[in-house]
């Protein structure tokens, strides 16, 4: 099952302001691993070759907190979404 299909089982209330911020895109440009592209279970982070930066699809975030510790450069500012926004599991 694809990540897109799995995310379909999750209901979100999306804020118009991201709760995830890349602190310094210049750090991502020289990042040797771009680990955020594979450690996030919701595929939130993606390197855009044309723009030369990491794109952040914060709307899909599952609030697992992995990116707080898994970016070796500590280059991701992580908070919970503003109260009332974020995920609400459809099943559970
Ligand atoms: S792992 Fe961290 S430093 Fe590397 S590209 Fe992702 S956010 Fe940037
Ligand atoms: S908290 Fe989890 S789901 Fe959200 S962006 Fe970070 S790794 Fe991805």
> Ligand 2: does its nearest atom lie under 6 Å from the Cβ of 77?
no
pLDDT in tens, 27-83: 999 999 999 999 999 999 999 999 999 999 999 999 999 999 999 999 999 999 998
Residue 43 CA: which ligand 2 atom is closest?
8
Distance 51 CA to ligand 2 centre (A): 22
Judge whether residue 7 has pLDDT over 60: yes
Q: Quick one: pLDDT at residue 88?
A: 83
Distance 34 CA to ligand 1 centre (A): 5
Range of the domain at 70: 3-89
Residue 36 CA: which ligand 2 atom is closest?
7
Instruction: Kindly list the distances between the CA atom of residue 42 and the CA atoms of 6, 27, 52, 63, 67, in Å, as whole numbers in the listed order.
Output: 9, 22, 21, 10, 11
CATH, residue 23: 3.30.70.20
**Total number of domains in the chain:** 1
Residue 92 pLDDT level (bands cut at 50, 70, 90): very low
């Amino acid at each position: 099952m694809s990540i897109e299909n799995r995310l379909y089982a999750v209901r979100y209330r999306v804020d118009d302001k991201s709760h995830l911020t890349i602190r310094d895109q210049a750090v991502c440009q020289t990042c040797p691993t771009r680990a955020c592209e594979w450690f996030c279970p919701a595929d939130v982070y993606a390197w855009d070759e044309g723009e030369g930066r990491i794109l952040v699809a914060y709307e899909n975030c599952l609030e697992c907190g992995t990116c707080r510790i898994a970016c070796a450069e500590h280059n991701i500012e992580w908070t919970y979404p503003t109260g009332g926004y974020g995920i609400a599991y459809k099943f559970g």
